[in-house]
Amino acid sequence: MGFRVALIEFSHEGNTFTIRSTPIEAFHASRYFQGVEIVTKMRGTNSEIGGALDLAEARGWEVVPILAAHAQPGGTVTEAARRTITADVVHGLETAGPIDGIFVALHGAMVTETSEDGESQFLAAIRSVVGADLPIAVTLDLHANIFDAMAGLADIAVSFRTYPHIDMRERGREACTLLHAAMAGETAPRLLIARPPMLVGCDDGRTTQDGPMCRLLEDAALEMMTPGILNVSVNAGFTDADVWAAGPSVLVNYDEKIVSAVTAQATADRICARIWDFRDDWARPIPLWECIARLKAHKSTDKPIVVADFSDNPGSGGYGDSTTLLAALLDAGRGNIALGVLYDPQAADLLASAGVGAECTVLLGGKTDPSTGGGPIEVTGTVAAVSDGAFTFEGPMFTGLPGTLGRSVSFRVGGIEVLIASENQQMLDANIFRALGIEPTAKAVLAVKSMHHFRGAFAPLASEILVTDAGGLCSPDLTRRNYRNIRRPIFPLDPING
């Protein structure tokens, strides 16, 4: 008889510098699947649970799907939302009958109104139901901020190894393979966590440009060749959270039947030292003025040039409504441009009500916090398309999963088609543009609100990529933030002797 394994997801990345919070509605807007709905909607998708379902089928598990809750990155999770999600999971576990193990898809940088360490808070609630001995495997985003408490709550932790994150399904399979061995008694997995004194490191985890993260992952792979070292994960951390554990970390899964904690610690220390060696090697976006100058000098080709606003990235909790880049593109006077996603429910509703073909003058964007990334700008244009915003992710991220922009419009202002949405969404998939009838391959310029994930979908389409800092909430200029909770001293905020 196969193992019975519970499947759970509670995934959110918390930006503590935003004035927004993350209520339960944000989870329902993104993903809130319960019971068998998890299996029907997530099987075959590029998700951690998609990978867990692959492994379950291969190993003959009986899966017990509990809850899959995911919200777009944003402010701290409200206590009401945390309690609702936790209660649904606890109830599911209490009524599940005997289980042999649990798989949990986490982010690793969740902050709730009652804890800087939302993941450990959640895992502690699970442990209160199933006890200390039941094997638990978790997956983590490589931008996780990992607290020490996780080592006592999870037996196995596996982080993504790609940024953009195109290996979510693969990491789910990997974590569940380790879970299977633990349930079978073949291994006695333990988790060890270490971190260098750094807030910024690992080149933010980028793996598409053969930089430091690629070297660190190679080192981790070599360490995993040691018998008993089951997995070594390298996390770049998340600088948009002012929490004690923010920054890079190393997680070592080891089999205590074979190796000691001392050996595992030495493994972690070697990787931490390598992270420190790369401390000054990280890519920075270019200033907006330089971006616009290079855009003007760019010679048109049959492929679009992609301009990415690093600083207004919804994928890091950015507001998504900054107007600085849009204003600069309008001033530049270039045509055949698509910009997205601009989050402005008020404008989307007004323009959708006006209907396709209507000419309207609106105050667009900048409504969340006009002091960050530019306030509202008055523009006149024509409604080119209206949509309910439903789409399916094409990939390579989230392939096969449903997505939504809410009520949304394409608004043509001069030579720019602005995709305006009622749900904040990072522009990481070509189908987001297509949901409003915008074909990205037909544009001369694609302006996207994204730090790096856009590369998965748009780099193959691009003649050139310009990543700029337009002064939004997620600007990499750390001097704009007041860190109060992070451990000190820490690089690059404090002088530290190597």
270-316 tens-digit pLDDT:
999 999 999 999 899 999 999 999 999 988 889 999 999 999 999 99
Distance (Å, whole) CA 14 – CA 41: 25
pLDDT of residue 1: 57
Residue 69 has a pLDDT of 98
Return the pLDDT at 281.
93
Q: Report yes or no: 339 and 332 within 8 Å, Cβ to Cβ.
A: no
Whole-number Å distance between alpha carbons of 9 and 103:
8
State the pairing for strand pair 305-309/464-469: parallel
pLDDT score, position 498: 60
- By CB neighbour count within 10 A (0-12 exposed, 13-18 middle, 19+ buried), where does 141 fall? buried
The mean pLDDT of 109-137, rounded to a whole number, is 98
Mean pLDDT of the chain: 97
pTM above 0.85, yes or no: yes
Q: Give the pLDDT score at 159.
A: 98
pLDDT digits (tens, 9 = 90+) for 125-169: 999 999 999 999 999 999 999 999 999 999 999 999 999 999 999
Is the peptide bond between 232 and the residue preceding it cis, with omega within 30 degrees of 0? no
Confidence of residue 40 (pLDDT cuts 50, 70, 90): very high
At residue 299, the pLDDT reads 85
Q: How far apart are CA 447 and CA 428, in angstroms?
A: 12
For residues 149 and 497, give the distance between their C-alpha atoms in angstroms, rounded to a whole number: 28
Whether the Cβ atoms of residue 7 and residue 89 lie closer than 8 Å to each other: no
